[in-house]
Structures are given as structure tokens and as C-alpha cells.
A and B are shown apart, each in its own frame.
Chain A
Amino acid sequence: MSELERKLAGSGLVVTGELPIVDGGGLDAVRAKLEQYAPWVDAVNATDNTAAHAHASNLAVAIALKMLGVEPIMQVVCRDKNRLAIQADIVGAALHGIENISCLTGDDVTAGDEREARRVFDLDGPQVIVTAAALARGEYLSGRKLEPAPHLFIGAVENPGAPPLAYRAQRALKKARAGARFLQLQICYQPEQLEAFCAEGARIGLFQHTALLPSICLVAGARPLEFMDADVPGISVPAATIERVKNAADPREEAFELAVEQARHALAQPGVRGLHLISFRKDDAVGRLCERLGIPTTKERDASGHGSAVTV
């Protein structure tokens, strides 16, 4: 059983982080990128060609995290690989003791810098969950036996802020029924959308199956918010939010305060078991955010047996 699985089975707060992209530099580079997250997170995402740009692979980075003593969550996207390659990656990850898998459809090639590439999407996000569940059961998608069956802890992603808003909780439930035990929600800059998603999730029984980890992005000013609004598929940032950060006396600090507010709000929603932190900053923002929220370090949380729910 992975640590993440064990912790989500408990009642304490869980924090995951998203490792910035890795292009090289060996374990030292990975260690440096981990630095701001390390004291605070239970597990770290190894991304899969994020934003449709090629980088060191999800599997390679997940292994590096493992070597550095950090629990990895290997993201798997559908854009670049067919069902054979996706299964090989998951089974290969399990071979290295990587059990946490986060399944997502992924941005299209047109979101990246190699737009002429062939898009694959042989499977879609929900189908990868079913496929991973098959592997964990001890068979490949073809039905061929897989022995020994790898132990997997399967998760996925859902976007509470993309149309059709009324369907998103149902789609999350579809993923949960397929075997997703945690959902790292995409960053949502409209609190009322996250609220509606969580309320609907509670109504339809989503949280009997799965734990929510809403994403919180740590940025250093208004420009990254404008970028996300314009260029990140499925993310929209209200003009008033961008203005607020832009017109503040200290935009950098205002962007941080925005994240604190978002995190507090997210943690107050039903079904939310923790946070997924994505830092685009190179300072100590992750640590400051956790301190402001009253989240102890991972070590302290572990020592207290994860029992203490955080009051926000």
C-alpha cells in the first residue's frame, strides 16, 4: 500500500505537490526543484509532458523522486502514447515501486510547441482509469494475465470550472466508479464553481469513493494569471481577480494572499481531503502557505498520526 493511500484512508489532511518540469541535470536538479515542497508534502506529481511540451518523462522523473526518498504520483496522459505504451509505463512504474497513478486526458498537441505532431488519444482519461484497474487486478487490457499483479493506487483529475459545469461532478463520479480513489482538481479561480462542484459531489455520493485534492497555484504576480487565463486550456481567471493582483501595492504578495484565500476556501468544502500545490515561484511560498493555513510539516503530521484535522 502506498503512503498516499494509507494517509487518504486516515482522516488527516494530505498535501501533494507538483514538481516543476525537469529537462536534465541529474538527481541534483530534481532535488533542487523539490526543495520548496519537501518539508510539506506527502507525495509529489511527476508530470507527463505537461502543456504538450516534451520533457524528461513521467516514469523517469517518478523513479528519480523515489530515489530521493519522496513518494511519487506518476501522471499519465493520453496525448502521446497508445494503450500499449501506457500500460507498459504503468507496469514499469510498479516494477520500481511506484504505485500512485494519476490518469488524465491531457492537453492537446496544439497547446504545445510541436503542433505538427500526431496526437494519439488512443484511450481517454476515464479509459486509462479502467485500464489501470485491470492491471491492478492482474490482467492487461487484452485479458492476458499479469503476474504478479502490481499494487496500484489510482487517481485522476477533474476540472470543476469547465463547461458543462452541471455535469462535472457526474463525470468525477464516473471516474471514481472506474477506480479513481483521489481526484486532483484543476485550479479553479471562481470559488463558486468549486463550491457547486463539491456540493453536487456530496449530493451524488462522490466522496464515498474518492478524495478531493483541489489545486492551488502559487504565482508571483498578475502576469502568470493573465497567461493562465489566455493560454491554459480550461482555466479562466476573472478580470477582477487579475486586476486585484495587478493594482496591489505589492502584486507578488497579493498573488500569495489570493492563494491563501483560495486554499482556505477549498479546505472548507465537503469532500476535500487536502490540497495539491503547484508553485511557479522560486521562493518559500509553499512553506509560507502551509504555515498560514496551520498545516504542520509532513514529519509533524506523521508523528501525530494524521489525526489532527486542520482548522481553517
Chain B
Amino acid sequence: MKPLALIEKAVKGPIWGCQMCGQCVLHSTGMTCPMNCPKTLRNGPCGGVRANGNCEVKPEMRCVWLKGFERAEGMPALPKHWREEYNDMRPPVDNRLKNTSSWANFLSKRDRQTPAGWKPGDDG
């Protein structure tokens, strides 16, 4: 891992359980890292959330996406447009960016590069 990635990991790891996917979407998911979802869903929550709000895979853990939903709804500190992004269609993870710094990828716009066939436009 490069120095910047190491710093990012040191900062975001303890707070958000950052998994260093290199394409951070934390701000749009209620400041809850979706890579902590055991299914690593970028467009959760799945249909397996338990009635008590806990995860299908880890019964002792609150669903990451449910937590994000509640925070996106109720965290006044979050800018409104971040909160509204909760329902956005997020593209598949680019696995090449694993362990790279999402800060650097944000600045270079590398984190917003998607496959040419990815056109999630309003099909309705």
C-alpha cells in the first residue's frame, strides 16, 4: 500500500471500518461503509434483513444499510444532497482499486470511471 493509502486506512479504518475499496461512497450511504455488509452490497439493503433490523449473515450485527438509512434520514449534520444520494444507483465495484487511496482516486476522478456499458439512466 502506498503512503497516502496507509494514512487513509489509519484514519477511516477505526472510525468506519474502512475496507479500502478505493472508491469511497460513504457520504452517500449515511456515513456507513457498505463494504462492511457481508455481501458487500453497493445498492442495499437486501431482502434478508431480520425483523429486529440485524443482518441475515451476522445475527449480532445491525444491518449496515439499515443503519445508513436511519443516519441518512436523521443526521442533521449531513448535507441534504448527500442524504438524497442514499437511493442512487451505485456502479459495480472496480476491483482493481482495492487498497488504493480513494482520496487520490477522487481527485483524479478515477473512482467515477465505470464500464462503458454501465448506463443506469432512468429506464422508466
Residues of chain A whose beta carbon lies under 8 Å from any beta carbon of chain B: 78-79, 83, 104-105, 107-108, 110-111, 119, 121-127, 130-131, 133-134, 137, 139-144, 157-159, 162-164, 167, 170-171, 174, 176-179, 186, 208-209, 233-234, 236
Q: Closest CB-CB distance, A236 to chain B, in whole Å?
A: 4
Q: Please determine whether A209 and B47 come into contact, CB atoms closer than 8 angstroms.
A: no
- A209 vs B115: C-alpha distance in the bound complex, in angstroms? 26
Chain A residues lying within 8 Å of B63, measured Cβ to Cβ, are 163
Among B44, B116, B120, contact of A143 (Cβ-Cβ < 8 Å): B116
Q: Closest CB-CB distance, A157 to chain B, in whole Å?
A: 7
Chain B residues lying within 8 Å of A108, measured Cβ to Cβ, are 38-39, 48, 56-57
- A227 vs B70: C-alpha distance in the bound complex, in angstroms? 30
If A108-B56, A111-B56, A179-B123 touch, whether A163 touches B51 (CB-CB below 8 Å) is: yes
> Between A and B, how many residue pairs show CB distances below 8 Å?
124
Q: Please determine whether B56 and A83 come into contact, CB atoms closer than 8 angstroms.
A: no
- A134 vs B91: C-alpha distance in the bound complex, in angstroms? 13
**Which 9 A/B pairs are nearest by Cβ-Cβ distance?**
A143-B116, A159-B47, A233-B48, A233-B56, A209-B124, A126-B43, A234-B48, A236-B51, A134-B117
Q: Please determine whether A143 and B45 come into contact, CB atoms closer than 8 angstroms.
A: no
Q: Please determine whether B49 and A234 come into contact, CB atoms closer than 8 angstroms.
A: yes
- B122 beta carbon closer than 8 Å to chain A: yes
Q: Please determine whether B115 and A141 come into contact, CB atoms closer than 8 angstroms.
A: yes
Q: Please determine whether B46 and A105 come into contact, CB atoms closer than 8 angstroms.
A: yes
Q: Please determine whether B39 and A171 come into contact, CB atoms closer than 8 angstroms.
A: no
Chain B residues lying within 8 Å of A208, measured Cβ to Cβ, are 124
Q: Please determine whether B89 and A126 come into contact, CB atoms closer than 8 angstroms.
A: yes
Among A140, A178, A234, contact of B123 (Cβ-Cβ < 8 Å): A178
User: What is the chain B residue whose CB lies nearest that of A210?
Assistant: B124
Q: Closest CB-CB distance, A73 to chain B, in whole Å?
A: 17
Chain A residues lying within 8 Å of B42, measured Cβ to Cβ, are 124, 127
